[in-house]
Amino acid sequence: MDGSPTAITIRGPRLLLRPLTAPEIDDEWHEMVQADPMSITVLPSQAAFRERLGRTGHMVDGWLDLAIDLDGACIGRIQTFVPADGLPPGVFDVGIGLRDHARGKGHGREAIADFTDWLFEHADAVRVQAPTDPENVAMRTVFDRVGWKLVETYRELDRTWLMYAITRERWEERTSR
């Protein structure tokens, strides 16, 4: 919605991570409502969701939402978010969702890698992390391929979660090769 020059965009080899348009925000709400329970724990209110995505393209209090664009079409969304109990300075929680037709083609891996690089290079990240369901083999594979490590298993909302993360030190080792 915000195409201002200060909006965040991240260009990768095939993908562009960019602000969402108003129709894409509508599509993202529909995707959220229809999401597999494996990928979402609690559905936010539509008003809160739209308010958050109305800031698309801008980092606000640790929150950033971007479209994942392939050849001019939005194929999903990538975000940072802040859990209710907060995060230490420099720590970012990441979430990603791809449309069914875009899965299994390396787009998730590229988006996570590009977003991770941007967070370390431009947002002073010291650690980037993301929870996933233990049964989400595709996401676990993405994390492994981009150099993230399984760092914790925990329970929340009567579910088991795996936390994957990459620290600045590990990221620097990987990018200096």
- Going along the chain from its start, the domains and CATH numbers come out as 10-175 (3.40.630.30)
- pLDDT score of 3: 47
- pLDDT score of 19: 97
> Exposed e or buried b for every residue in 94-125, given b needs 16+ CB within 10 A?
bebbbbeebeeeebbbbbbbbbbbbbbeeeeb
- pLDDT score of 88: 95
At 124, list the tokens: 């002073």
Report the DSSP pairing between strands 159-167 and 149-156: antiparallel
Q: What is the pTM of this model?
A: 0.88
User: Which helix (H) or strand (E) element contains residue 107?
Assistant: helix 107-122
Tens of pLDDT, residues 109-127: 999 999 999 999 999 999 9
At 71, list the tokens: 């050849």
Residue ranges in the chain modelled with pLDDT below 70: 1-5, 33, 35-43, 177
